[in-house]
Every structure is written in structure tokens, then in C-alpha cells.
Amino acid sequence: MATRMILGAIRKRAVLLSASHFLSLSSVSTSRYVSTLVIAEHEGGAVKAPSISAVAAAKSLSDDASISVLLAGSGPSLHEAASHAASCHPSISQVLVADSDKFKNPLAEPWAKLVHLAQQSGGYSHIIAASNSFGKNVVPRAAALLDVSPITDVIGISESHTFVRPIYAGNALSTVRYTGANPCILTIRPTSFPVSQKTVDSKPSQASISQVDLSTFDEDLGKSRYISHTSQDSERPDLGNARVVVTGGRALKSAENFKMLEKLANKLGAAVGATRAAVDAGFVPNDLQVGQTGKIVAPELYMAFGVSGAIQHLAGMRDSKVIVAVNKDGDAPIFQVADYGLVGDLFEVIPELLEKLPEKK
């Protein structure tokens, strides 16, 4: 009995081995030709920055990859965005435009169907989007329609089918290989694929723009409807792309005191972030939350005021270049990741910083 089990196990293993051998062979043949579809968002006639990071990620899959960008929406701003897409990155070879009222709002249902349609006609080896609220909403749904496993929040690409992604709130890094059929679908963390201004400026080749044939697009759109969107307009830079971020925690004590932090942000040309505690206490809206379940940022300078440094918060900012922590409690975990720590009362430190910091250029 025992022998039979062992034999069975060996046989099973042998089958698995030959299967993986076969797969590795086939992945070699596909890695020669990498054709990628980038699902892009646009706003005000331009491709959004996280989508351009997705193009940069597509580029790092393979040097001679062909990259198509998929844009959808309706009206003149879509076509402006399409011409921006055609020249926003030298690696883009084609821009696909889906022009229909069905894509006026970023609903997952029509978008997932659109990606499915584009894959059927394009036969891409990879589909990539930015890992933001849009990408996370649409991409897994599209992957399910295509019957493949997507890979979320990729921070590194080592081969065309091997990726690194954080797990357990960034406390471990997992290297995963995709062994399934085409397409290999990923969402990438934009901060891990920065787009250098040099790339963008280097005489971009004008990519061709073509319309997606929507004649077979039969999505029943009655099931979900877009009602409204509310946001707080801010003069400050976008949290996800800011060069400097100043963040406040519960220790700021009130929404009123957060204004002090906003002043500091204005002086530094920074975006304002917050911990979950500060958001839950109602000091600031939820879209300012930095952490495992909020926004992931990696600015050049991250200044944390009255932030203890819980695991879930560190997950959102540990890749910042320089971290400054100001906290009354010298034992706060935030000091373990800070490059510069100042043990002190933020109500004294912030006004002093406001007074002594040089004006931004």
C-alpha cells in the first residue's frame, strides 16, 4: 500500500515535471514575441500618469515588445487623449480607441467586456494596467472572462512571465511565475515603474491610432448605472505622484489642526496624506489614506507627524526615498523606518518648520 502511494506520488511528480518542462518550452517561444495591451485611463484629453507607468512596465517585459494602448470613452476629450497617447511614450506602437457612450463612465462591466473583445482580436501575450482603483476594479473581472489568473500590484518584472509582488502588507515579497495560457494579465504599482522625463521627451515616434470595432460589443448595460462622483478639489499635487508627502496621524487631534499640516504641505509643494486613524476620526476624507488598503506612495520625501507606524501604514510608504518621523513617543515603530527622526511635540515642531523652511522654488 505504502509503496503504491509512493510510486503514485513519483508518477504524479513525473507528469508535473514534464508538464512544467513543456510549459517552460512554450514560454520560451512566446517570450520571443511579446505583444502587450495597456489598459489606459485618460482625463482632460491626456493619458493619466499611472497608465504611462503601465507602458513603462510593458516596455520592461521585453525590449522589442509591441505595445498597444487601449483608450475608451466618448467625445472630443477621448480623441485628444488618443493623440496624446500616440506620442506620450516612444515605445507605444498602436493606440486603440473605443468610442461609445457605454464607456463614458469607468464602469467595470462594459470595460471588462471591452478588454475581452480586444484580446479576441489582438491575441496579446500580456495585458497590463495600473494598480489603482480603476485597474483593480476592471482587470480581475476581465481576467475571469478570459479564464486566467491576474497578478496584482507587480513591483518588479524579472522575465516575461516572472514577477515580484508584495504580500502581507509588504512584509514579504513573492516571486511568481505565470504558467497559464495567454494573456498574462497584471496590474503594476505605478511608483515601481517611474517614467523619466527623458523618455517622454526623446523624440517620440507617432503611433498609429485605430478605432476598435464595436459591432460585436453586446454588453447588456442595464445592470449597473453610474450615479455620481464626489471629490474634493485640491490645489496640491496628487498624492500618488507627489514628490513630497506630509502625513498626519491621530495625534493631530482634529480636522482644524490638520490645516497646519496643509500649510506645511503648501510650503513644500507637497501632497497631504493621513493614517487610517486620522481618516476614521473624520479629520480628512478617506482618499488621503496611505497604507495597505489606501494609497501606496513612494515620494522622495515622506514626513510623518504623529504617526505611530502600524504595519498597515508602513505598507503604503516604506518605499519612500527619505522618511522623516516626528513623534512624541521615542519608541514608536515609525522610528525604525525613518531616516531622520525627531522626538518632540508636533504642535511645536510644525510651526517651527513653517517658520524656518526655505520657500519652495
Partner 1 sequence: MKIMVAIKRVVDYAVKIRVKPDKTGVETQNVKMSMNPFCEIALEEALRIKEAKLASEVVAVSMGPSQCMDTLRTGLAMGADRGIHVEFNETLYPLSVAKILRSLVEVEKPGLLILGKQAIDDDCNQTGQMIAGLLNWPQGTFASKVILDKEKQVATVDREVDDGIETLSLNLPAVITTDLRLNQPRYATLPNIMKAKSKPIKKFTPQELNVEIRSDLEVLQVTEPPKRKAGILVSSVDELIDKLKNEANVI
- For partner 1, the binding residues in 139-178 under the rule CB under 8 A are 139-145, 147-153, 162, 165-178
The verdict on 95 binding partner 1 (CB under 8 A) reads no
- Least CB distance to partner 1 at residue 268 (A): 7
Closest to partner 1 by CB, 67 vs 72, is 72
Q: What is the DSSP string of 345-357?
A: -HHHHHHHHHHHS
Of the two residues 46 and 145, which places its CB atom closer to partner 1 in the complex? 145
Q: Is 101 or 339 the residue whose CB approaches partner 1 more closely?
A: 339
Residues 39-58 that bind partner 1 (CB under 8 A): none
Residues between 188 and 227 with contacts to partner 1, criterion CB under 8 A: 222-227
Task: Tell me how far, at minimum, the Cβ of 73 lies from partner 1, in Å.
Answer: 16
User: Judged by CB under 8 A, does residue 94 bind partner 1?
Assistant: no
Member of 67, 252, 290, 301 binding partner 1 (CB under 8 A): 301
Q: What are the two backbone dihedrals, phi and then psi, of residue 72, each rounded to the nearest 5 degrees?
A: -140, 155
- 241 lies in the binding site for partner 1 (CB under 8 A): no
- Does 259 contact partner 1 by CB under 8 A? no
The burial of 145, by beta-carbon neighbours within 10 Å (0-12 exposed, 13-18 middle, 19 or more buried), is given as middle
Does residue 26 interact with partner 1 by CB under 8 A? no
- The x, y and z cell numbers of residue 11, run together, are 508518477
Contacts 24+ apart (CB under 8 A), 105-109: 105/226, 106/41, 106/134, 106/137, 106/138, 107/221, 107/224, 107/226, 108/137, 108/138, 108/141, 108/224, 109/141, 109/219, 109/221, 109/223, 109/224
Told to check if 298 binds partner 1 by CB under 8 A, we report no
Which residue matches cell numbers 503611433?
207
The size of the interface with partner 1 (CB under 8 A), counted in residues, is: 90
Answer yes or no: are the C-beta atoms of 61 and 91 closer than 8 Å: no
Cell numbers standing for residue 303: 514626513
Residue of 86, 279, 297, 298 interacting with partner 1 (CB under 8 A): 279
